[in-house]
Structure 1
Amino acid sequence: MDFYKRALELKDETVADRRYIHQNAETGLELPKTKAYVMDKLKEYGLDPVECGEGVTATLGNGGRVLLLRADMDGLPMPEESGEAFACPTGKTAHTCGHDFHATMLLSAARILKEQESKLKGTVKFMFQPAEETFQGSKNMIEHGILENPKVDAALAYHVSPGKMPVGLFMYNDKGTMMYSVDGFKITVKGKGSHGAYPHAGVDPINIGVHIHLALQELIARETDPAHACVLTIGQFKAGEAANIIPETAVLQGTIRTNNTKERELLVRRMKEVAEKTADVYNGSVEIEMISEVPPLICNPALTDEMIGYMKEMDIPGLAPVPDVSASASEDFAVIAEKVPSTFMYLSAGYTDERGTYPAHNPKVQFNEDVCPIGVACLAQCAVKWLESHQE
């Protein structure tokens, strides 16, 4: 079957779905409108969707090997200033990362695959995931069995990318780390409050927090291998309510990102040790909470190359590979990729004119909807071809 031709026939519907989800952007784990819309569409196409944790799943096919197709569907807690007629009106939520595309491209792919179900040589499992932006969604659905019953053998996900570039590029990494790990942490420094005129009567958590902040910078400068990419950022430091009061607590929040598993383990361990021992030096204590724990995204090389081969078999105008892509941002599909052979690729959804000025997560970002049939076709083609090549 010519999947790209069929995807073009469905483009108007895919775009309409995308605009509905875009205009009704929701964030976090609970996406009631989005989830209901996805489930209604899947039922309309003849599938039997069910809730999986806070997400949605459905399967179709004929036993055999199982390929997971994953799409996230959450937005971001920010206003939208894109100027699009279908912009989210809330002023508080927006699809500025393109997850509305991911969900609707997978919906249209599910429709096509349902039309071809009798010819499938295995099973396709669909994963519509919440809370990618907060790195909770994959774990939530894994805990509720997304990789089991039927057991998943491999997984594929696409992510659209805005910017100054033409539609048709697909970006991948079949050699090393594609996206960095992220370990978000919250350090609560506990001291003893006192009057600002009598600091000796208290234990200053601000002073302790400053020394922790400075000491953490030395982990990058003196303890990590400079051959590896490592980033440690403190993005929040809060303490106190008045100029003449030494507070009881101070809070530092930050992230550790790296492209290397061993460096990640080192940095997380040493962050905790530095915070605890520095606080002890100044007669205070700390409480450390890990906010997110996402490994580096490392795609399976053989699976990546295999999927690229299937994509190239289609006659899609302008389809062109961009290899060896790596980014210091993070992606919770890495949690899936750590458990089953997986691949993840970017599809360009940019413009070559002024509409391509703004990047993802910018309130003014615009995405090119011409990417829709490309994403739909790639999902359907890769699913059918992979199952044909991996019959039991």
Structure 2
Amino acid sequence: MDFYKRALELKDETVADRRYIHQNAETGLELPKTKAYVMDKLKEYGLDPVECGEGVTATLGNGGRVLLLRADMDGLPMPEESGEAFACPTGKTAHTCGHDFHAAMLLSAARILKEQESKLKGTVKFMFQPAEETFQGSKNMIEHGILENPKVDAALAYHVSPGKMPVGLFMYNDKGTMMYSVDGFKITVKGKGSHGAYPHAGVDPINIGVHIHLALQELIARETDPAHACVLTIGQFKAGEAANIIPETAVLQGTIRTNNTKERELLVRRMKEVAEKTADVYNGSVEIKMISEVPPLICNPALTDEMIGYMKEMDIPGLTPVPDVSASASEDFAVIAEKVPSTFMYLSAGYTDERGTYPAHNPKVQFNEDVCPIGVACLAQCAVKWLESHQE
């Protein structure tokens, strides 16, 4: 079957799905409108979707090997300023990362694969997940059995990418780390409140927090191997309510990202030690909570090369491979990739004119809907071809 031709026929429907999800953007683990919409569409196509944790799953096929196709479907807690007619009207949530595309493309791929179900040489399992942005969704669905019953043998996911680039590029990495780990942390510094005129009567958590912040920077400068990419960022520092009061507590929140597992282990351990010992020096204490713990996304080389081969077999104008791509952002599909052979690729969804000015997570970002049939066709093609090549 010519999957790209069929995907073009379904483009209007895929775009409509994308726009509905976009206009009704939801965040985090609870996506009631999005989940209901996805389940209704899958039922319309003849599948039998069920909830899996806070996400949705469905299967089709004829036994044999199992390939998981994954799409995240959550937005971000931010306003939208894209100017699109279908922009989210809440002013509080927005699909500025493209997850609306992922869900819509997987819905259309499910429709095509259902049409071809009798010819499938195995089983396709669909994973519509929440909370990728908070790095909770994959873990939530794994805990509720997404990789079991039937047991998943391999997994594939795509992510659309905006910016000043033509539609049709597909970016991958079959040699190393595709995306960095992310370990989010919250350090609550505990001191002793006092009048600002009598600092000796208290323990200043702001002073402790400042020293912790400075000390953490030395972990990158002096303790990590320069051959590896490592980033430690403090994105939040909150303390106090008045200029003349030393508060009881201060809060620092940040992230550690790296492309190397050993460096990740080192940095997480040392972050905790530095915070605890620095606080102790200044007579305070800390409470440390890990907000997210996601490994580097390392794609399976053999599976990646297989999927690239299947994509190249299609006659899609402008479809162009871009190898050896690595991004310092993070992706909770890495949790899936740790457990089963997996691959993850970017599909360009940008513009070469001024509409490509803004990146993902910017309130003004715009995505090119011409990517929709490309993504749908690639999902269907890779599923069918991989199952044909891996019959039991």
**What is the CA-CA distance between 1:182 and the residue it aligns to?**
0.5
**Greater than 3 Å deviation, 4+ residue runs:** none
**What is the CA-CA distance between 1:36 and the residue it aligns to?**
0.2
Secondary structure in 2 matching 1:178: strand
Q: Partners of 1:378 and 1:18 in 2: how far apart?
A: 17
Aligned residue for 2:319? 319
**What is the CA-CA distance between 1:8 and the residue it aligns to?**
0.6
Q: Partners of 1:325 and 1:187 in 2: how far apart?
A: 33
Deviations, residues 320-373 of structure 1 (Å, cap 9, x unaligned)? 000000111000100100110000000011111111111111111111111000
Give the structure-2-normalised TM-score: 0.99
Q: Partners of 2:233 and 2:357 in 1: how far apart?
A: 27
Aligned residue for 1:306? 306
**What is the CA-CA distance between 1:242 and the residue it aligns to?**
1.1
Deviations, residues 166-201 of structure 1 (Å, cap 9, x unaligned)? 111000000011111010000000011111121111
Q: Partners of 1:143 and 1:326 in 2: how far apart?
A: 28
Secondary structure in 2 matching 1:132: coil
**What is the CA-CA distance between 1:207 and the residue it aligns to?**
1.0
**What is the CA-CA distance between 1:246 and the residue it aligns to?**
1.1
Secondary structure in 2 matching 1:336: helix
**What is the CA-CA distance between 1:74 and the residue it aligns to?**
0.4
Deviations, residues 136-167 of structure 1 (Å, cap 9, x unaligned)? 10010011000011110000000001111111
Q: Partners of 2:198 and 2:163 in 1: how far apart?
A: 55
Deviates more, 1:296-305 or 1:238-247: 238-247
Q: Partners of 2:127 and 2:334 in 1: how far apart?
A: 14
**What is the CA-CA distance between 1:93 and the residue it aligns to?**
0.7
Q: Partners of 2:197 and 2:366 in 1: how far apart?
A: 54
**Unaligned runs of at least 5 residues, structure 2:** none
**What is the CA-CA distance between 1:243 and the residue it aligns to?**
1.3
Deviations, residues 289-332 of structure 1 (Å, cap 9, x unaligned)? 00011110110000000000000000001100000001110001
Aligned residue for 1:382? 382
Give the structure-1-normalised TM-score: 0.99
Deviations, residues 77-117 of structure 1 (Å, cap 9, x unaligned)? 11111111111111111111100000000000000000000
Q: Partners of 2:196 and 2:159 in 1: how far apart?
A: 52
**Unaligned runs of at least 5 residues, structure 1:** none
Is the counterpart of residue 284 in structure 1 residue 300 in structure 2?
no
Secondary structure in 2 matching 1:387: helix
Secondary structure in 1 matching 2:118: helix
Q: Partners of 1:166 and 1:199 in 2: how far apart?
A: 59
The percent of aligned pairs where both chains have the same amino acid is 99
Aligned residue for 1:369? 369
Deviations, residues 242-292 of structure 1 (Å, cap 9, x unaligned)? 111111111110100000000000000000000011111111110000001
Secondary structure in 1 matching 2:306: helix
Q: Partners of 1:98 and 1:219 in 2: how far apart?
A: 34
**What is the CA-CA distance between 1:9 and the residue it aligns to?**
0.6
Is the counterpart of residue 123 in structure 1 residue 126 in structure 2?
no
Secondary structure in 1 matching 2:207: helix
Q: Partners of 1:164 and 1:283 in 2: how far apart?
A: 52
**What is the CA-CA distance between 1:47 and the residue it aligns to?**
0.2
Q: Partners of 1:33 and 1:222 in 2: how far apart?
A: 48
Q: Partners of 1:186 and 1:78 in 2: how far apart?
A: 21
Counting only pairs closer than 5 Å after superposition, residues 144-293 of structure 1 correspond to structure 2 as 144-293=144-293
Q: Partners of 1:81 and 1:188 in 2: how far apart?
A: 34
Secondary structure in 1 matching 2:250: strand
Q: Partners of 1:267 and 1:314 in 2: how far apart?
A: 44
Is the counterpart of residue 51 in structure 1 residue 51 in structure 2?
yes
Q: Partners of 1:78 and 1:168 in 2: how far apart?
A: 29
Q: Partners of 1:227 and 1:274 in 2: how far apart?
A: 23
Deviates more, 1:103-112 or 1:357-366: 357-366
Cα-Cα RMSD: 0.6
Q: Partners of 2:125 and 2:226 in 1: how far apart?
A: 41
Secondary structure in 1 matching 2:328: coil
Aligned residue for 1:69? 69
Q: Partners of 2:221 and 2:359 in 1: how far apart?
A: 30
**What is the CA-CA distance between 1:16 and the residue it aligns to?**
0.6
**What is the CA-CA distance between 1:374 and the residue it aligns to?**
0.4
Deviations, residues 204-261 of structure 1 (Å, cap 9, x unaligned)? 1111111111110110011000000001011111111111111111111010000000
